[in-house]
Amino acid sequence: MQFLTRRDRFLIAAVLGCAAVLAVWFYILPFMMPPSGNDDLVCVTIDGESYGTWPLSEDHEEDIDTPYGHNHLTIRDGSAQMTEADCPDGLCMHQGRISRPGEMIVCLPHRVIAEVISRDGTSQGYDSISQ
């Protein structure tokens, strides 16, 4: 008695192959790509007003004190990350590192937005949804 036919084995191999290709595409290739150019900036706004702008190419730490609370932004190795926040949920600390134009970290309780912008202001093209 045979449990798997030849077609069953082929289907299993095809599904595993597709899963391997997707894993490489979404999880391995982004880490192998070089970081974005050194001309990108991190712009921080509080409640819609500009707070400061720093280049991603220079390591920098900034304490951001607002009327709503305290955040700590760390720029290191060409990316920025919110490393401290005293908001109740702390979601901004779990949003990870940002390094490409258009990426942002948002802290809603403190009304803080940290966004990567291009120094020359050119558009970065379409994303995968709007194409």
pTM of the model: 0.66
Of the CA atoms within 13 Å of residue 95, those in its CB half-sphere come to 24
Residue matched to tokens 């258009």: 102
Tokens describing residue 85: 């926040």
Q: Write the DSSP symbol of residue 19.
A: H
Q: Which amino acid is at 20?
A: A
User: pLDDT truncated to tens, each residue of the chain (131 aa)?
Assistant: 578 888 999 999 999 999 999 888 887 776 666 555 567 899 999 998 999 999 998 999 999 999 999 999 999 988 999 999 998 888 999 998 998 888 999 999 999 999 999 877 654 555 556 55
Q: Which amino acid is at 5?
A: T
User: What confidence score (pLDDT) does residue 123 get?
Assistant: 44
Instruction: Say which CATH topology domain 40-118 has.
Output: mini-chromosome maintenance (MCM) complex, domain 2 (2.60.320)
